[in-house]
Structure 1
Amino acid sequence: MGGPHGGPFLLFHGDPHLLTKVSIPTACALWCPPNSSCVNGTACRCAPGFISFSGEIFTDPLESCDDINECGPPSPVDCGGSASCQNTEGGYYCTCSPGYEPVSGPAVFQNESENTCRDKDECSSGEHRCHNSTICVNTVGSYTCHCRQGWVPRPGFQDKQMITVCEEIFFPAWTAPPGIKSQRLSAFFERVQKMSRDFKPATAKKSMQDLVRSVDDLLKNSGDLESLGQSSKHVTATHLLSGLEKTLRTLAKAIPKGSFTYRSDDDTELSVVVQEQGKGNVTVGQSHARILLDWAVAAAAGESGPSVVGILSSQNMKKLLANASLKLDLEKLKETYESPVRGAKVTLLSAVSSVFLSNPNTEKLDSNVSFAFTLHEQPELKPRQELICAFWKNDGNGNGSWATSGCWKMGSGNGSITCQCSHLSSFAILMAHYDVEDPKLALITKVGLALSLVCLLLCILTFLLVRPIQGSRTTVHLHLCICLFVGSAIFLAGIENEGGEVGTRCRLVAVLLHYCFLAAFCWMSLEGVELYFLVVRVFQGQGLRKLWLCLIGYGVPLIIVGISAGAYSKGYGREKFCWLNFEGGFLWSFVGPVTFIVLGNAIIFVITVWKLTQKFSEINPDIKKLKKVRVLTITAIAQLFVLGCTWVFGLLLFDPESWVLSYIFSILNCLQGFFLFVLYCLLNKKVREEYRKWACMVAGNRYSEFATTTSASGSSHNQTQGCPSDTGTLGGIPSTGPARG
């Protein structure tokens, strides 16, 4: 060994026969930090597994040797699959990951080549902590606790967790609807209570089949259910549908995963699919109805177990839903039919299908659900009839009705119809016959126009044949009646567009109606002019010449219709009615001139009534006030119809659903021909005298025939009282002998 001066010394290493000479520095750095060794008097070296900031060897007395993390970057140790690296002070080791154990070899190793880790089955080795209400299911590297068949997680727990706690499925409580007295219904719910007491999760499929058969028996042999009022039937139907949905949803959770189908002897179909939650679509159903939806819709929020999708289709349920009301989407129908819709008569054309999911909150779904319904009746749709997709809506008070909001028809064909809905309930396909127009109002229109046609025809014959009343005013009356007669006849015969397509016939009818009614209003304006000349200006002449009257009465509407048709010919004809189209303001080609004429005549009406009031006082100031008011009132009312001022109600009819104005407008204007006949014929003394002469002539001819047959019996003189006997003319018709009658 070296002496005190630190000189070189010899060191035997290994074999004593081999002598190795090692040089040891004569001086060592005394400042080397922990986990390092001295290199010389100015440098230190970090021990294996440690390193300094400057590297393995460093000269700075302030540096330290820190542990190297062999398990971290930049070059971590590869322990192999299912294993993890564990860093130690100055070293490392590899062990199997939790849930794995070595098949052979030590539990601690250094690299991948020594790795024998394999999955450990905690469920078979008794190392799990699953609750006794669950079943342990081994997973790769771990395990989960699943609810047993027929069990569901308790509130606050989720399935397939290590802490899952489950409870057994019970038959839901279901009792009879309150206030409904029926022995058949009571017997049904007694059977339901027995099924509830005897229920076992292992027999869930059988319980579902028994429940379907029980409902079939109740509806097929309804007994005293038939005597219930309509409202009670609908309450019962609502209770049954909601109860079935809840009960079938619960029982379906107790059946094994997969699909389940049952068809009863009464053709009621039940289809259920149970599977793990996932993505993608699923189709469920049979011959009555099928449903297509996303699996994500079926799962309830926070649910971790299998999801359920089911559909129950019943033909017998239609018995309880007969004559149920339908809540219409009035705004949509108003756009479709261009007219207010007051109600609908509905007919059930498909089985009633009730859909149930694991998710009980189906009022607003994240994605739409598609339905395909089989139509067991093939209806022949008439005008204002269509197939609609409807659902049974619970009103919250136990009752219900059909509704269409949130559902729409996608298409139809081959005996089926496809619908989409944004929610779920009990669905069916209805054929609805909408009451687009009030039937009472339609009857008033048809009867009033028919009466007006008869009266207008009598007016036309009177104005043509009665000579004492001929003049310019009679000419105006005649042509006004002709225009109203032709327009009313065309309206009755062709206003409705039965085919739904706007063809040549419908366009022609619309053009003719446009022209005839515009011409009628032009003649009404001429009535106002003649009345103004007669009462205000007190002209003694015959008014405007006949040529000018015809040019204005028939020429002006011809120009308006010609310009309208040339500018926009498609404006004539609509899907439901052969009249002017509302698009692009085309209706103003009629409303504009009519408004101008009606307002002008209204001014003339006010002036003439005022003038007449003055003239009555001037002509006979002693006339009684009551009689004066009566005469003036009758005259004013008569002129309202002559001048078309009653059309003001139509111009004020901004809202088509204002039924009061609609009735007033229809009654007054459908009877315009009748009022013209009363005013110009029955209240005219000259016309009444001519009518009396005509009546006497007709009665005289009949009496003459009778007198001829009885002359042999000695009768010599027969004369009807009240009829003239002098020779002359009868209503302008020469008479060659004594007038009989």
Structure 2
Amino acid sequence: MRNGCIRLPPGLSVLLLLTLRPADKAPGASASMACAPWCPPHSTCVNATACDCLPGFISSSADIITDPTETCDDINECRPSLPVSCGKLAECRNTEGSYYCMCTLGYKLVSGAMKFSHESQNTCQAEISFPTWTPAPGIKSQSLSRFYEKVQDLGRNFTLASAKDTIQDIIQEVDELLETAGDLENLSRSEQHCVATNLLTGLEHVLRELSKSLPSGPLTFSTATGTELSLEVEEQGQRNVSLSVNKAKMLLNWDTVQESGDAGPSVVGLISTPGMGKLLAGAPLVLETEGPEVLHETHTGLLQGVSPVLFSDVISVFVSNNNTQNLSSPVTFVFEHLVTPVPRQQVLCVFWEHGQNGSGHWATKGCRMVGTGDTSTTCLCTHLSSFAVLMAQYDVQEEDPALVVITYLGLSLSLLCLLLAALTFLLCKAIQNTSTSLHLQLCICLFLAHLLFLTAIDRTEIKVLCAIIAGTLHYLYLASFTWMLLEGLHLFFTARNLTVVNYSNVSRFMKKFMFPVGYGVPAVIVAISAASRPHLYGTAARCWLHPEKGFIWGFLGPVCAIISVNLAFFLMTLWILKSKLSSLNTDVSTLQNTRMLTFKAMAQLFILGCTWCLGILQLDPAAQAMAYLFTIINSLQGVFIFLVYCLLSQQVWEQYRQWLKGVRKSKADSEKYTLSSRATPEAYKPSTTLQFHRRNGHL
């Protein structure tokens, strides 16, 4: 109907059309005069002076339009005055030019179809009934029995009109059970975990089904003691959904919520149950064996079964889509911390995984942490369940105080010696050659690496900064070992020069390639490591490489290879020197030089980093002794460099003596100049002195 007019039945419409239609034109009449060019939208041409509205549309006068100013308007078949009936438990939906019927929210057709067009096709029946919530088997608790009796009472009195009140009553009953646990506190840990599993799964199931009967839009439910439910009901959408409760927030895509081919209302809900933490206390944690949440190898306490503690409220997620184990896009969770994290604690994003025996445990599979701070942690998960943030209390092996003191004293002394050696190599012109350049670069890399190690290895507060520190240490120590490799190669060629005269070619080769190799090779290794797994730079305890998936071999692999090659160079150098010594005559000078070279070659065992292999030998029963030996020798590597290349070099000592003479001469000249400058003013100012004595009555 439109403007009070009633659409005529099809038979009468045809009769009226035949009555109003003029006689057929004679053959040969003009075709352009047979149809009115001004027919409005939603109409068809009758003849040159009339148009007919399409079914479902009507003009202000009738179906037939003869006035060019008239229009064909949509007929709202769902208006109460029209004889269109969809039947009980259904409603009419008008569309442009037509209409359809569909069951009222909470009901559906027996056939499963969404629409029908007449009351005779109406088979709507109730879609939602109160879900069954069975108690956890084998648990004897009066508090739990009373809770399930109240839930059954809510189910018996449930109606679609009271769905909203029923949801409020459900979360209120759960909240009261958790806050006044009663005899639940006397249950064993495993039984409490079974109760928690039953409450979490049952609550998700009941809320999912009851929420489908709610009107579209966002809704929030809460209790006085902190339990809060936030949900949204919508028929369809292609946007992100953001829900917030007390201390948590969730962001997901609406496509994740909807089931495939489901045109009905979709539901997404987020409920926070702070009291659930009491039942989940002491729950075990199962770490993902091949994922980013594997803890550092020093977290021995956690790996041996030390239970982590809850770091946030427990939240549960439910959606209308039951297939949520492998989502197309991850869901983002932001948890507010219950307490402030402290050092030696690992923050983990976890979910509650149900066990076959009715119990459960925390697990990390499918969830990863993308950021954490003092107040909140952000997690990404590829499935839906009950989630929380755990604070893993791990035990770091106690460090031997003596080893700590040795490390800091040794590295501090090495830093001083490396600085003096670097200044010597830069300023001593008499020893400037390829060998000195190698020594200088090794000193620079070791100095920077040791300095950063002493000042920043424990700076784990800021994750990004810790990762940068770890990457820088990775590069500096790799560069140091690469220059050790070049030192070993140059030492071998130097010893070989005693028997084969080709030193100039070797020197040119070293000058050309030592800088690209010394600084380029470590850069390539670090770049590949950082590009492949950047999140593995930095651990919870140290700003160093994470051992997960063998990532630490990005450092140990090149180091082991360099140590092996340098050890081979060292042995070949000793063999060459032994052959040279056996062929010497009584030339004392040559013998003394060769013996000095032999001593320096022995000292190279420490300088070339070969003693780092002692770290592999830290096994029982000699682990303690090897740890001390390894720490002492390698922390003093800078001292060995200064001793061999500076203090045992005659050229360097000669340069030191010249510098010392220059300092003494400069000091003597300075003192002479000072005495002269003090005497000169008195000689040139007698009148001033005379006036001074006269003023003071001396004369």
TM-score (norm 1): 0.52
Deviation at 1:351, TM superposition (A): 1.0
Q: Which residue of structure 2 aligns with residue 292 of structure 1?
A: 251
Q: Which residue of structure 1 aligns with residue 608 of structure 2?
A: none
Which one of 79, 84, 95 corresponds to residue 128 of structure 1? 84
Deviation at 1:665, TM superposition (A): 6.8
* Residues 1:100 and 2:53 are matched in the alignment: no
Which one of 537, 557, 564 corresponds to residue 592 of structure 1? 564
* Residues 1:357 and 2:357 are matched in the alignment: no
* Residues 1:167 and 2:93 are matched in the alignment: no
Change (3 A) 1:448 1:131: farther
Which one of 92, 95, 104 corresponds to residue 148 of structure 1? 104
Helix, strand or coil: the match of 1:667?
A: coil
Q: Aligned equivalents of 1:210 and 1:234: distance in 2?
A: 24
Q: Aligned equivalents of 1:240 and 1:70: distance in 2?
A: 77
Which one of 351, 369, 380 corresponds to residue 409 of structure 1? 369
Q: Aligned equivalents of 1:202 and 1:115: distance in 2?
A: 43
Which one of 373, 379, 383 corresponds to residue 335 of structure 2? 373
* Contact 2:229–2:270 (Cα < 8 Å) also in 1: yes
Q: Which residue of structure 2 aligns with residue 252 of structure 1?
A: 211
Change (3 A) 1:183 1:332: same
Higher relative contact order (CA 8 A, sep 6+): 2
Change (3 A) 1:648 1:167: farther
| Equivalent position amino acid for 1:666 in 2 | L
Which one of 273, 277, 284 corresponds to residue 236 of structure 2? 277
Deviation at 1:420, TM superposition (A): 2.2
Q: Aligned equivalents of 1:507 and 1:96: distance in 2?
A: 82
| Equivalent position amino acid for 1:430 in 2 | L
Deviation at 1:99, TM superposition (A): 2.1
Deviation at 1:144, TM superposition (A): 3.0
| Alignment deviations for residues 16-51 of structure 1 (CA, whole Å, 9 cap, x no partner) | xxxxxxxxxxxxxxxxxxx999xxxxxxx944477x
Which one of 138, 142, 156 corresponds to residue 183 of structure 1? 142
Which one of 387, 397, 415 corresponds to residue 427 of structure 1? 387
Q: Aligned equivalents of 2:400 and 2:389: distance in 1?
A: 34
* Contact 1:308–1:357 (Cα < 8 Å) also in 2: yes
Q: Which residue of structure 1 aligns with residue 508 of structure 2?
A: none
| Alignment deviations for residues 424-476 of structure 1 (CA, whole Å, 9 cap, x no partner) | 111111122456xxx8xx58x979999xxxxxxxxxxxxxxxxxxxxxxxxxx
Q: Aligned equivalents of 1:94 and 1:339: distance in 2?
A: 87
* Contact 1:299–1:359 (Cα < 8 Å) also in 2: yes
Change (3 A) 1:111 1:403: farther
* Residues 1:305 and 2:305 are matched in the alignment: no
Helix, strand or coil: the match of 1:192?
A: helix
| Alignment deviations for residues 483-508 of structure 1 (CA, whole Å, 9 cap, x no partner) | xxxxxxx9xx999954355979x979
Helix, strand or coil: the match of 2:260?
A: coil
| Alignment deviations for residues 221-256 of structure 1 (CA, whole Å, 9 cap, x no partner) | 222222222222222212211111111111112222
Q: Aligned equivalents of 1:356 and 1:47: distance in 2?
A: 74
5+ residue gaps in structure 2? Answer: 1-22, 405-449, 461-465, 485-516, 527-536, 546-551, 573-611, 630-699
Deviation at 1:210, TM superposition (A): 0.8
The 5 Å alignment of 1:6-85 reads 46-48=27-29, 78-85=38-45
Q: In percent, how many aligned pairs have the same letter?
A: 35
Q: Which residue of structure 2 aligns with residue 418 of structure 1?
A: 378
* Contact 1:261–1:271 (Cα < 8 Å) also in 2: yes
Deviation at 1:591, TM superposition (A): 5.3
Change (3 A) 1:334 1:174: closer
* Contact 2:346–2:392 (Cα < 8 Å) also in 1: yes
Q: Aligned equivalents of 1:173 and 1:325: distance in 2?
A: 29
Q: Which has the larger radius of gyration?
A: 1
Q: Aligned equivalents of 2:363 and 2:206: distance in 1?
A: 24
Helix, strand or coil: the match of 1:586?
A: helix
Number of positions where the alignment pairs a residue of Structure 1 with one of Structure 2: 456
Q: Aligned equivalents of 1:673 and 1:190: distance in 2?
A: 67
* Contact 1:157–1:164 (Cα < 8 Å) also in 2: no
* Contact 1:324–1:401 (Cα < 8 Å) also in 2: yes
Q: Which residue of structure 1 aligns with residue 275 of structure 2?
A: 316
Moved more, 417-426 or 162-171: 162-171
Which one of 370, 385, 389 corresponds to residue 349 of structure 2? 389
Change (3 A) 1:253 1:228: same
Helix, strand or coil: the match of 2:619?
A: helix
| Alignment deviations for residues 355-409 of structure 1 (CA, whole Å, 9 cap, x no partner) | 11222222222322222222221121x24x3322211122455332222222222
| Alignment deviations for residues 184-236 of structure 1 (CA, whole Å, 9 cap, x no partner) | 21221111111000111111111111111111111112222222222222222
* Residues 1:667 and 2:624 are matched in the alignment: no
The 5 Å alignment of 1:504-583 reads 582-583=553-554
Q: Which residue of structure 2 aligns with residue 499 of structure 1?
A: 459
Deviation at 1:97, TM superposition (A): 2.2
| Equivalent position amino acid for 1:210 in 2 | D
Helix, strand or coil: the match of 2:459?
A: coil
Change (3 A) 1:186 1:95: same
Helix, strand or coil: the match of 1:234?
A: helix
Change (3 A) 1:401 1:112: farther
Change (3 A) 1:330 1:101: same
* Contact 1:494–1:578 (Cα < 8 Å) also in 2: no
Q: Which residue of structure 1 aligns with residue 593 of structure 2?
A: none
Q: Aligned equivalents of 1:671 and 1:120: distance in 2?
A: 91
* Contact 1:77–1:111 (Cα < 8 Å) also in 2: no
Could you say what the CA RMSD is over the residues aligned between the two structures, in angstroms?
Answer: 4.9
| Equivalent position amino acid for 1:370 in 2 | T
* Contact 1:80–1:111 (Cα < 8 Å) also in 2: no
* Contact 2:239–2:254 (Cα < 8 Å) also in 1: yes
The 5 Å alignment of 1:328-367 reads 328-333=287-292, 337=296, 343=303, 345-367=307-329
| Alignment deviations for residues 319-355 of structure 1 (CA, whole Å, 9 cap, x no partner) | 1111112221333358874779772642211111111
* Contact 2:42–2:72 (Cα < 8 Å) also in 1: no
Moved more, 337-346 or 299-308: 337-346
Q: Aligned equivalents of 2:402 and 2:619: distance in 1?
A: 8
* Contact 1:138–1:144 (Cα < 8 Å) also in 2: yes
5+ residue gaps in structure 1? Answer: 1-34, 38-44, 51-67, 451-489, 519-563, 601-646, 652-663, 677-741
Q: Aligned equivalents of 1:282 and 1:569: distance in 2?
A: 46
Change (3 A) 1:98 1:204: same
Q: Which residue of structure 2 aligns with residue 723 of structure 1?
A: none
| Equivalent position amino acid for 2:103 in 1 | C
* Contact 1:298–1:307 (Cα < 8 Å) also in 2: yes
Change (3 A) 1:594 1:186: farther
* Contact 2:317–2:386 (Cα < 8 Å) also in 1: yes
TM-score (norm 2): 0.55
| Alignment deviations for residues 43-64 of structure 1 (CA, whole Å, 9 cap, x no partner) | xx944477xxxxxxxxxxxxxx
Q: Which residue of structure 1 aligns with residue 585 of structure 2?
A: none
Q: Aligned equivalents of 2:521 and 2:66: distance in 1?
A: 92
Q: Aligned equivalents of 1:70 and 1:353: distance in 2?
A: 73
